[in-house]
């Protein structure tokens, strides 16, 4: 099979066969297809798309390029969640122990942050002593003994995705729907959970900038996951402003603990409990989303979810005492308060801008080699729609020592817009997507399968 002929076939808009796709994917992984030919092919895919069959074939190739776990390798029932990423998204940190405390195992392999969104592993590693590089066998062991584990994706699983994603990143070919679907579903199905809930974020701080593309991605993620005999459901959720009040590694971990302690911001609690309820429902542990919400609310108020987090942290080598004493987290002692110049309503909070600022202060990585500063971040005191008086605090920044306060105040001031009119409220989770397609969420509730 000639690589050039396969590139030309895709370039000319024809559908590729399974063998041709295998030649490209496994050939690239083996080093037989060079970067320049793979790049040309990826660009042809980005411009011309892929059929459903090609996408399915590509997802299988991604998945079987490495070790694959099935639900039979894990205790049952099991469920996992994947978010397309957003600013202040610390849901996984609370969700894994929350769902496990209700009897459904959560095997969660996660990624590191790159760019403005931050990564679950970086946030979790703000716990003193905690390790996430466990290897697959220890990961499975911990899911069996504790009921949940959040660990790093090892090179053993979906190596083709690791290699191709790195090339997509530098060739402007990340934003291709079939490539995104095969990358995400290949990874998630290989991790073995029997049910997968997707949180597809839309808005300025998200990968998908408009609701329509988020719905399309959610629909394709659900359909592709179900082709591998796993249960799946997606929610399209708002990422125009940060989720919760905290942005930054230690601050977000503390906020996740607050949530499991019965506090924490309403929006974070609503999304976490909703996604968790969907995991319980798909795993067969409850008969409806409403019952899932009730079960998880009890887990929080009874303290069992927080105790499960303590157990998970301890199993991963960290000091579980952090769940009762959050002063143990490294948080920068140098702070800058941002206050409102005018009175009115908070009209918008630029999630992407705030995420990028925290990343620049050392809270995230610009390149994979960068070291993370867990102690920097931003704590919002107001969210969109809140009333604010002149000179009232809007946010506190936790900054590296020696930071220039006046330029940071000016920059953050521009990210938080105040207006005299109250802005229209957007629903937090406007849509649920099942195999039957997207439906409005909220109010009467969906007719679930």
Active site amino acids:
82, 161, 168, 183, 187
What does the buried/exposed string (b/e) look like for 408-418 if buried means 16 or more CB atoms within 10 Å of the residue's CB? beebbbebbeb
| The binder of ligand URA chosen from 136, 184, 185, 283 (CB under 6 A) | 184
Contact call for residue 179 and ligand URA (CB under 6 A): yes
In whole angstroms, how close is the CB of 296 to ligand URA at the nearest point? 26
Give the distance, in angstroms, between the CA of residue 388 and the centroid of all CA atoms in the same chain. Answer: 31
Of 180 and 372, the one with the shorter C-beta distance to ligand URA is 180
Burial of 380 (0-12, 13-18, 19+ CB in 10 A): buried
Q: Cβ(201)–Cβ(83) under 8 Å?
A: yes
Residue 301 near residue 98, CB atoms below 8 Å = no
Minimum Å gap between C-beta 399 and ligand URA is 30
Q: Which is nearer to ligand URA, 101 or 183 (CB)?
A: 183
Tell me whether residue 167 or residue 428 sits nearer to ligand URA (CB atom).
167
- State which residue, 85 or 276, has the beta carbon closest to ligand URA: 85
- Distance CA(423)–CA(387), nearest Å, equals 11
Alpha-carbon torsion angle 387, 391, 392, 393, nearest 10: 130
The reply to whether 183 sits near ligand URA by the rule CB under 6 A is: yes
Residue holding tokens 């929350």? 98
Applying CB under 6 A, the span of 20-28, 140-148, 178-186, 213-221 interacting with ligand URA comes to 178-186
Burial 128-142 (b: 16+ CB within 10 A, else e): eebebebebeebbeb
157 binds ligand URA (CB under 6 A): no
Using the rule CB under 6 A, is 189 a contact of ligand URA? no
Omega before 77 within 30 of 0, i.e. cis? yes
Please work out the total of residues on this chain that contact ligand URA, with binding judged by CB under 6 A.
Answer: 6
How far separated are the first and last CA of the chain, in Å rounded? 44
Residue 283 binds to ligand URA (criterion: CB under 6 A): no
Cβ 284 to ligand URA shortest distance, Å: 27
Task: Pick the stretch among 173-181, 254-262, 311-319, 441-449 that binds ligand URA (CB under 6 A).
Answer: 173-181
- Contact string (CB under 6 A) for ligand URA, positions 249-268, x = contact: --------------------
Question: Minimal distance in Å, beta carbon 42 to ligand URA?
Answer: 11
Per 3-state DSSP, what percentage of the chain is helix, strand, and coil (rounded to 5)?
45, 15, 40
The DSSP 8-state label assigned to residue 69 in this structure reads: -
b/e per residue 193-208 (b: at least 16 CB within 10 A): bbbbbbbbbbbbbbbb
Our CB check for ligand URA shows the closer of 115 and 385 to be: 115
Task: Work out whether 180 is an interface residue with ligand URA (CB under 6 A).
Answer: yes
Q: Which is nearer to ligand URA, 184 or 378 (CB)?
A: 184
**What tokens appear for 374 in the block?**
């867990």
Binding site for ligand URA (CB under 6 A): 165, 174, 179-180, 183-184
């Amino acid at each position: 099979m000639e690589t050039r002929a396969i590139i030309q076939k895709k370039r000319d808009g024809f559908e590729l066969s399974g063998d041709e796709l295998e030649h490209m994917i496994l050939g690239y992984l083996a080093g037989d297809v060079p970067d320049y030919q793979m790049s040309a092919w990826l660009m042809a895919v980005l411009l011309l798309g892929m059929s459903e069959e090609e996408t399915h074939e590509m997802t299988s190739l991604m998945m079987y390029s490495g070790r694959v776990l099935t639900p039979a390798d894990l205790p049952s029932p099991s469920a996992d969640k994947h978010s397309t990423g957003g600013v202040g998204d610390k849901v996984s940190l609370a969700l894994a122990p929350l769902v496990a405390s209700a009897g459904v195992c959560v095997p969660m392999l996660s990624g590191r942050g790159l760019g403005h969104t931050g990564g679950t592993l970086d946030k979790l590693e703000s716990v003193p002593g905690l390790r996430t590089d466990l290897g697959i066998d220890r990961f499975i062991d911990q899911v069996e003994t504790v009921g949940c584990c959040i660990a790093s994706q090892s090179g053993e699983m979906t190596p083709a995705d690791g290699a191709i994603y790195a090339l997509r990143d530098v060739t402007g070919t990340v934003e291709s729907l079939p490539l995104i679907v095969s990358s995400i579903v290949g990874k998630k199905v290989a991790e073995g959970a029997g049910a997968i809930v997707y949180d597809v974020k839309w808005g300025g701080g998200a990968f998908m900038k408009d609701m329509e593309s988020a719905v399309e991605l959610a629909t394709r993620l659900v359909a592709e996951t179900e082709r591998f005999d796993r249960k799946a459901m997606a929610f399209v959720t708002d990422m125009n402003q940060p989720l919760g009040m905290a942005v930054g590694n230690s601050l977000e971990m503390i906020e996740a603990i607050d949530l499991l302690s019965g506090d924490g911001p309403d929006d974070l609690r609503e999304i976490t409990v909703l996604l968790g309820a969907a995991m319980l429902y798909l795993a067969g542990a409850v008969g409806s989303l409403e019952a899932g919400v009730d079960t998880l609310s009890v887990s929080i108020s009874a303290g069992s979810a927080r105790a499960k987090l303590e157990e998970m942290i301890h199993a991963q080598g960290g000091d579980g005492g952090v769940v009762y004493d959050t002063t143990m987290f490294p948080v920068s002692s140098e702070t800058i308060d941002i206050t409102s110049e005018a009175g009115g309503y908070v009209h918008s909070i630029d999630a992407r801008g705030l995420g990028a600022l925290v990343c620049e202060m050392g809270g995230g990585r610009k390149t994979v080699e960068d070291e993370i500063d867990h102690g920097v971040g931003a704590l919002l005191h107001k969210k969109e729609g809140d009333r604010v008086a002149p000179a009232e605090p809007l946010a506190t920044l936790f900054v590296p020592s020696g930071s220039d306060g006046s330029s940071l105040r000016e920059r953050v001031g521009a990210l938080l817009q105040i207006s005299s009119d109250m802005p229209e409220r957007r629903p937090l989770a406007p849509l649920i997507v099942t195999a039957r397609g997207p439906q409005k969420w909220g109010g009467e509730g969906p007719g679930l399968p």
